[in-house]
Amino acid sequence: MRALLPYLALYRRHIWLLSLGVVLAIVTLLASIGLLTLSGWFLSASAVVGVAGIYSFNYMLPAAGVRGAAITRTAGRYFERLVSHDATFRVLQHLRVFTFSKLLPLSPAGLARFRQGELLNRLVADVDTLDHLYLRVMSPLVGAFVVIVVVTFGLSFLDVHLALTLGAILLATLLFLPPLFYYAGKPTGEALTVSRGRYRQQLTAWLQGHAELTIFGAAKRYREQLDATEISWHEAQRRQSELTALSQAVMLLIGGLAVVAMLWMAAAGVGGNTSPGALIALFVFCALAAFEALAPVTGAFQHLGQVIASALRVTQITSQQPEVTFATGEPETHGQVSVAINRVSFTYPKQPQSALKDVTLAVKAGQHVAILGRTGCGKSTLLQLLTRAWDPQQGEIQFNGKLLSELDENTLRAATSVVPQRVHLFSATLRDNLLLAAPSASDEQLSTMLERVGLEKLLLDAGLNSWLGEGGRQLSGGELRRLAIARALLHDAPLMLLDEPTEGLDAETERQVLDLLAEVTAGKTVLMVTHRLRGLMNFDSIIVMDNGQIKELGNHAELMATGGRYYQFHQRL
């Protein structure tokens, strides 16, 4: 239960709306009980009057009560659904925002051990499960308790003994059945949550890697694993359905016994009247209706096990402390940025080898530096440290003589434009994806930038309203790369970090993009990771890395003269 406390606190933001939903639920339940109770008494009283030959009977008042209860129940149910679901959606909105706000500072270090499918499942499915807490647990329990009190109090005006007996049976049912079925359903709820998460994780991996699985002949084996997980998930669902059916059967049994008890006791007399007549039907139908109101209660606590399991899975991520924390302060502006890297070493978590070893580098403001090296030599890691995706275990990094750890996040983001290796696009319009980099940019500026990077054809159909699927699936790798470059140029920061900006481009487009970068980055500080040698003679400095260390440093002419690794790269062309 303690796992739910952080999420219960979020419910306070909508306490009035949630309370109104509970009140409407109670009104609806009482109207339903009143309708069945009054109808049963009315029909029985009419029959008794006819048999006794009594010709004076006020049927107008109970008939109006029946109509009033029916109208109240219908209207109450409508507005209760409206208010409760609106409140639930608002709570879910804040739950998602709360969860995402906790996840964002953890990226990438705190989330590295979770697969994308697992993170997606926890952020979406597990958070959605938390809405059961109000709709299926809190609201039914509070409503049932109030109904018991009101029914007992109302019937006590007719017969205290019968009212207390029915109230005691209802209260005992409310106190003992939900905890009983909670403990019975807790393992099933946990298994259901885990199986659901595992299945969606495997399904996501299956869809993303279907081509590779087919090529390497692993599709059948992976599909068998997916089917086994699905069977396990279905088995958990079957057990929960059986438990739900059992809880309903037990509730029906107790309700039936309570109705029989009321019939037997009321037949002996009601309120001292040994010939109660239609009052017998009143107590019997009231007991029947009251147990119908309690029907959702036993199933409520079965979902509690699933809710707690989902809360624990979400908390497992959100309770982590970020590996990187930013200083607080007023944002600063930088005309130009110099970079100083002093004896930096870095090792990824749970990796035996260091990604960077004692790296020292000084980049003056306005300098253009190219970083070469084999895959895995630490080039991209160096750029990630400059954006504080990670912090080095040893050494320090400075911008304009100020430690990177002393800069607030807004200042750091405003000072850097990044073209990453993996380009992330949202399932939104072309305009939306570009405005991420420059929220105040006009449509004309966006269109001009697309034309400058050679993406004018994206404007042919719907223009900036063109829809980009998740990850920009309808775009080629080269088009994705150019879109990332357009975004970086729109951001217009004094420090440009380019990780393979021309990867996937043909020779002519590569030349155009390099010429554009040279034009727009004049006066800016540029660090570019590349495997290509085209255009490097225009860079102020070239770094050759290997095994996490800087092996060569100099301009094109100097490195060619030394006959080292850079020279060897050229000889292999």
Question: What confidence score (pLDDT) does residue 24 get?
Answer: 92
Question: What confidence score (pLDDT) does residue 78 get?
Answer: 93
Same domain, 147 and 194: yes
**CATH assignment of the domain containing 465:** 3.40.50.300
Q: Averaging pLDDT over each range in 183-197, 218-232, 505-519, which range is the top one?
A: 218-232
- Domain final position from 318, 347, 372: 318
Question: What confidence score (pLDDT) does residue 473 get?
Answer: 53
Number of domains composing the chain: 2
Opening angle at CA 266, ends 265 and 267, nearest 5: 90
Same domain, 17 and 139: yes
454 occurs within a structural domain: yes
Contact 114, 317 (CB under 8 A): yes
Question: What confidence score (pLDDT) does residue 334 get?
Answer: 66
Rounded Cα gap, residues 256 and 274, in angstroms:
24
Same domain, 271 and 381: no
Average pLDDT value for the chain: 83
- Domain final position from 318, 349, 375: 318
Kindly report, residue by residue over 390-415, the tens digit of the pLDDT: 888 899 999 988 888 888 888 888 88
270-297 mean pLDDT: 83
SS3 of the chain: helix, strand, coil, percent, to 5: 65, 10, 25
Same domain, 166 and 308: yes
Judge whether residue 363 has pLDDT over 60.
yes
Characterize the bridge pairing of strands 541-546 and 368-373: parallel
**CATH assignment of the domain containing 275:** 1.20.1560.10
Largest CA distance in the chain: 124
Question: What confidence score (pLDDT) does residue 71 get?
Answer: 92
Same domain, 409 and 267: no
364 occurs within a structural domain: yes
242 occurs within a structural domain: yes
Same domain, 313 and 343: no
Residue 544 vs residue 304, higher pLDDT: 544
Question: What confidence score (pLDDT) does residue 169 get?
Answer: 92
The total of other beta-carbon atoms located within 10 Å of residue 439's CB is 8
Judge whether residue 53 has pLDDT over 60.
no
User: Helix or strand or coil: residue 458?
Assistant: helix
Rounded Cα gap, residues 71 and 81, in angstroms:
16
Same domain, 309 and 354: no
Q: Which of 54-58, 136-140, 329-333 has the lowest mean pLDDT?
A: 54-58
Sign of CA dihedral 564, 567, 571, 573: positive
Contact 177, 251 (CB under 8 A): yes
Same domain, 117 and 253: yes
Please give the share of the chain, as a percent, with pLDDT higher than 70: 94
Judge whether residue 75 has pLDDT over 90.
yes
Same domain, 229 and 361: no
Same domain, 150 and 247: yes
Cis peptide before 296 (omega within 30 of 0): no
Rounded Cα gap, residues 431 and 465, in angstroms:
6
Q: Which of 77-91, 146-160, 193-207, 324-338 has the lowest mean pLDDT?
A: 324-338
Q: Which of 86-100, 127-141, 357-371 has the lowest mean pLDDT?
A: 127-141
- Show the domain range for 506: 339-571
325 occurs within a structural domain: no
The total of other beta-carbon atoms located within 10 Å of residue 182's CB is 19
Q: How many helices (H) and strands (E) does the chain have?
A: 19, 12
pTM (global) more than 0.75: no
327 occurs within a structural domain: no
Question: What confidence score (pLDDT) does residue 50 get?
Answer: 61
Question: What confidence score (pLDDT) does residue 194 get?
Answer: 81
- Non-local (6+) Cβ contacts of 68 within 8 A are none
- Domain final position from 267, 286, 318: 318
331 occurs within a structural domain: no
Judge whether residue 116 has pLDDT over 70.
no
Question: What confidence score (pLDDT) does residue 497 get?
Answer: 92
- Non-local (6+) Cβ contacts of 523 within 8 A are 336, 366
Residue 168 vs residue 198, higher pLDDT: 168
Distances (CA, A) of 324 to 105, 409, 424: 8, 11, 21
Kindly report, residue by residue over 452-490, the tens digit of the pLDDT: 888 888 887 777 888 876 554 577 777 888 888 889 889
Rounded Cα gap, residues 312 and 122, in angstroms:
10
328 occurs within a structural domain: no
Same domain, 274 and 375: no
10 occurs within a structural domain: yes
Same domain, 96 and 173: yes
Question: What confidence score (pLDDT) does residue 311 get?
Answer: 79
Kindly report, residue by residue over 118-161, the tens digit of the pLDDT: 777 777 777 777 777 777 778 888 888 999 999 999 889 888 99
98-124 mean pLDDT: 74
